[in-house]
Amino acid sequence: MSSPLTRGESPEDDVVKKFVKVFVALCIALSAFAVTGSASAAPAQAPVQAADGCYTWAGPLSEGATGDPVRQLQIRVSGYPGSGEVLGLDGTYGPATKAAVTRFQQAYGISADGVAGDATFAKIYELQDDDCTPANFDYAELNGCNSDWSGGPLSAADAKANALVSMWKLQAMRHALGDVALSVSSGFRSYSCNDAVGGAADSRHLYGDGVDLIGAPSFCTLALQARDHGFSQILGPGYPGHDDHTHVAASPSRLWSAPTCGLG
């Protein structure tokens, strides 16, 4: 129903007044939209971190943190301890772990603050498979002897766990070399397998962390690069029995010897 006209107004004047009211209301609504982004903007929601098939961290980790979440992180950044260093897997987020996380972040173009947060975990999730091995290595590759990891000086579980750490170190080494493929010729050996190939009586292959590398890059390139990735044992060309491969491992004491490569 039309509103009554006031004195002196014509029907045309009434139409104009209605138009002005509608126009003003529209302008107010458009101004509100420009400020809020929508007529009824919902509050921002924090992103939800999807669970990972291997291991999922519940939140950020930084210096001072302790426990299994820290140890799981240390395994995955064990290839970034710094030249000549080995990162302890003690579940304590100390200066060495912070430095390793920083190097990992730098290697993958993540903001390098030494704090393991969403971006760092997202990269780890991207790099690891559901069995916790890094994307470019697997348990079968590190065990050509027997699939149950038994028959050595350690329990099968411990030998397999040592192999996992070596794989993450190799993943770091591979990335540092330009994401080139690394070829493994030997990994874990039981006593019987080690005897069959003439391995040393105290070979690190018996413990699951020893790995022999062949192919490209050159043996010397592999030996020299391994210094930066947490391997305390590096044996290559010039060391007896190692002219046809480069051996890396995690021995209790350091032994680096590849005389042909200037390493020793």
pLDDT at 8 over 60: no
CA distance 67 to 58: 12
Indicate the average pLDDT of the chain.
87
Taking only the tens place, the pLDDT of each residue in 179-188 is 999 999 999 9
pLDDT at 13 over 80: no
Whether 32 is covered by a domain: the verdict is no
Burial class (CB in 10 A: 0-12, 13-18, 19+), 190: buried
Domain-terminating residue out of 132, 147, 178: 132
105 and 151, same domain (yes or no): no
124 and 157, same domain (yes or no): no
Domain that holds residue 114: 49-132
pLDDT at 17 over 90: no
pLDDT at 51 over 50: yes
Say what the alpha-carbon torsion angle 142, 143, 147, 152 is, to the nearest 10 degrees. -120
Residue matched to tokens 């490209």: 216
68 and 181, same domain (yes or no): no
In 143-254, the DSSP E strands lie at: 183-186, 211-214, 233-235, 246-249
Confidence of residue 146 (pLDDT cuts 50, 70, 90): confident
125 and 183, same domain (yes or no): no
Taking only the tens place, the pLDDT of each residue in 67-113 is 999 999 999 999 999 999 999 999 999 999 999 999 999 999 999 99
Burial class (CB in 10 A: 0-12, 13-18, 19+), 11: exposed
152 and 246, same domain (yes or no): yes
147 and 245, same domain (yes or no): yes
CA distance 211 to 143: 10
140 and 128, same domain (yes or no): no
Please tell me the least confidently modeled range out of 139-143, 144-148, 207-211: 144-148
58 and 170, same domain (yes or no): no
155 and 254, same domain (yes or no): yes
175 and 65, same domain (yes or no): no
Query: What are the residue numbers of the active site?
Result: 242
Mean pLDDT on 129-152: 95
- Among candidate residues 169, 167, 179, the one with its CA nearest the CA of residue 141: 167
Domain count, the chain: 2
Whether 4 is covered by a domain: the verdict is no
Whether 245 is covered by a domain: the verdict is yes
Say what the pTM is.
0.81
Whether 190 is covered by a domain: the verdict is yes
Confidence of residue 22 (pLDDT cuts 50, 70, 90): very low
pLDDT at 16: 39
Burial class (CB in 10 A: 0-12, 13-18, 19+), 184: buried
114 and 157, same domain (yes or no): no
Please provide the DSSP assignment of 228-242 as one string. Answer: GTT-SEEE-TTSTT-
pLDDT at 147: 83
Confidence of residue 50 (pLDDT cuts 50, 70, 90): low
- Among candidate residues 169, 179, 184, the one with its CA nearest the CA of residue 227: 169
β-pair partners for 247 = 212, 235
59 and 181, same domain (yes or no): no
Taking only the tens place, the pLDDT of each residue in 216-258 is 999 999 999 999 999 999 999 999 999 999 999 999 999 999 9
Question: What percentage of the chain exceeds 70 in pLDDT?
Answer: 81
- CATH code for the domain of 89: 1.10.101.10
Whether 14 is covered by a domain: the verdict is no
Helix (H, G, I), strand (E, B) or coil at 103: helix
